[in-house]
Structure 1
Amino acid sequence: MKRYPPQRIVCLTEETVETLYLLGEDARIVGVSGYAVRPARVRREKPRVSAFTSADIPKILALEPDLVFTFSDLQADIAAELIRAGIAVHAFNQRDVAGILAMIRTVGALVGAAEKAEALARRYEARLADIARAAAGRARPRVFFEEWDEPLISGIGWVSELVSIAGGDDVFPGLAGEKAAKDRLVAPELVIAAAPDVILASWCGKKVRPEKIAARPGWQEIPAVRDGRIVEIKSPLILQPGPAALTDGLDAIVAALRG
């Protein structure tokens, strides 16, 4: 890192972008992922320099960043190339709610806004606790969260936790701890056997088609299909392990489970 706190930050995933805006530190951002959509004004305020597994390295270097935020092993090659070019990189790898809260606190510490980050994280912790208390005592629907359709992929850790906080029970809790999507593959017949009451679907970059889900062979006997409880959760709200998941994403799950 050339300066502390860093004055020029590039964020290669959405959740660190939203966190910096929420902390009032968005003036430090000089480049963002093309998937950054929160807040909406980010798309007109900040230059886009990457997708998820690819990035415009020369464009990033031209921005002369003091620090670049990356996420997960899927951006490891990008991170390595930037490090070889002499750029300071912080790679996050949060996969659960505790990790999201830690990410918020770490971003705050790295930009000299630790107190603001602590206050933000504590507000989220209180919010999660309030929602969990509100769900206590209610009937808990069985939930299948479909992260992708071909092949079927079950929800990752933070998604499963948020389903539980919202008052539901993930039908494949044992898969939620698997970080890689390939390790969360589910056979269609296992979903039939699990008999979820609600199907939540979020296909990253692709609109969910409930009628396509309902038409799968044998799925007509699933309670969620029979009762018309197939609900799309927009991927920017739930598949980014950051503030969006703890706010609008969680609210969408609560609404779906009560609907």
Structure 2
Amino acid sequence: MTTARLPSRIVCLTTETVEVLYALGEQARVAGISGYTVIPPRARREKPKVFAFSSGDLEKILAVEPDLVLGFSDMQADVARDLIKAGVAVHVFNQRSVEGILAMIETVGRLVGAVDRSLALVAELEATMAAVRAQAAALPRRPRVYFEEWDEPPISGVGWVSELIAIAGGEDVFAERARHPGAAQRILADPLEAARQAPDIIIGSWCGKRFRPERVAAREGWHSVPAVRDGELHEVKSALILSPGPVAIREGLPALAGIIARWAARQPAS
């Protein structure tokens, strides 16, 4: 592959492609990032913030003279369209599953000529999942898990989160809803809908703000929910689980597995 033909000034409009490029040792190619980038933390110090997530000044992106812009989903369709009209090459990812995350990593590797390193990163993540699956196989029972990614209104977990819960040994009580890519389809219109699922564990990951378990426990009609009764309300930071990139597997999955393993250790012997 001719390196001169590879993109050398890449703008990443979401955090996960920044994470991948840094993990591949290709951070020198990153010319601009989203203001919501959190991983790796050094990227926020090193790279200019040229866009938010779904809004921002197109001229800020163009000012860093990108030869490739990496976006995510239909939520960035408008800026993708405007960049294309301005003559910029754009690749928009739409990963919503664990397999999609791994495919995204491989594609980014191909785009920057780091195929072997991207495959090595994927192999590392697959090994992490295999180790967690082996641990989960020894659980005496799989707990029912309610994952809440927002509280007002309550929104259940997205696809890759539901899959990671299953890998960690839990049963997502809203696994069917998780198949919907958009948050609108995962809104719980009835505040008691999650309570009726009788989850053993509640995990909160309120995007952009701290999870408040006492607020969940105080919801009307929730006092008899097993997770509330037993004090099994936990937080996994949104930066570790709600970004469909390597961090969700590297850090989010072990966090889920730890919560479930500790729950299992507290169960009475059968």
Whether these two folds match at TM > 0.5 is: yes
The DSSP-based 3-state class of the residue aligned with 2:66 is: coil
The DSSP-based 3-state class of the residue aligned with 1:69 is: strand
> What is the aligned partner in structure 1 of residue 237 from structure 2?
234
The DSSP-based 3-state class of the residue aligned with 1:38 is: coil
Summarize deviations over 1:35-62 as a string: whole Å, max 9, x none.
1111111111001111111122101101
Q: 1:218 aligns with which of 218, 221, 224?
A: 221
Aligned mates of 2:194, 2:122 — CA distance in 1:
35
Q: 2:155 aligns with which of 144, 153, 156?
A: 153
Aligned mates of 1:17, 1:203 — CA distance in 2:
22
Letter aligned with residue 13 of structure 1: T
> What is the aligned partner in structure 2 of residue 13 from structure 1?
14
> What is the aligned partner in structure 2 of residue 79 from structure 1?
80
Letter aligned with residue 64 of structure 1: E
> Contact conserved, 1:144 with 1:196, CA < 8 A, in 2?
yes
Tell me whether 1:47 sits opposite 2:33 in the alignment.
no
Unaligned runs of 5+ in 2: 263-270
The DSSP-based 3-state class of the residue aligned with 1:80 is: helix
> What is the aligned partner in structure 1 of residue 201 from structure 2?
198
Alignment size in residue pairs:
257
Task: Report the identity percentage.
Answer: 58
Aligned mates of 1:23, 1:170 — CA distance in 2:
32
- Once the two structures are TM-superposed, the CA of residue 87 in structure 1 deviates from its matched residue by 0.5
> What is the aligned partner in structure 2 of residue 89 from structure 1?
90
The DSSP-based 3-state class of the residue aligned with 1:70 is: strand
Aligned mates of 1:252, 1:122 — CA distance in 2:
20
Summarize deviations over 1:126-184 as a string: whole Å, max 9, x none.
21111101110302110000011011111011000000001100001110110010101
Aligned mates of 1:165, 1:55 — CA distance in 2:
37
Letter aligned with residue 206 of structure 1: K
Q: 1:248 aligns with which of 227, 247, 251?
A: 251
Unaligned runs of 5+ in 1: none
The DSSP-based 3-state class of the residue aligned with 2:178 is: coil
Letter aligned with residue 181 of structure 1: A
- Once the two structures are TM-superposed, the CA of residue 4 in structure 1 deviates from its matched residue by 2.4
Aligned mates of 2:210, 2:120 — CA distance in 1:
35
Q: TM-score, normalised by structure 1?
A: 0.97
Aligned mates of 2:207, 2:195 — CA distance in 1:
23
- Once the two structures are TM-superposed, the CA of residue 122 in structure 1 deviates from its matched residue by 1.4
Q: CA RMSD in A?
A: 0.9
Aligned mates of 1:144, 1:7 — CA distance in 2:
43
Aligned mates of 1:63, 1:28 — CA distance in 2:
12
> Contact conserved, 1:4 with 1:111, CA < 8 A, in 2?
no
Q: Which runs of 4+ in 1 moved over 6 A?
A: none
The DSSP-based 3-state class of the residue aligned with 1:219 is: coil
- Once the two structures are TM-superposed, the CA of residue 188 in structure 1 deviates from its matched residue by 2.1
- Once the two structures are TM-superposed, the CA of residue 118 in structure 1 deviates from its matched residue by 0.9
Aligned mates of 2:172, 2:38 — CA distance in 1:
28
Summarize deviations over 1:50-108 as a string: whole Å, max 9, x none.
11111221011011101000001111101111111111000000000000000000000
Aligned mates of 1:220, 1:4 — CA distance in 2:
61
Q: TM-score, normalised by structure 2?
A: 0.93
The DSSP-based 3-state class of the residue aligned with 2:54 is: coil
> Contact conserved, 1:34 with 1:49, CA < 8 A, in 2?
yes
Aligned mates of 1:50, 1:256 — CA distance in 2:
35
The DSSP-based 3-state class of the residue aligned with 1:221 is: coil
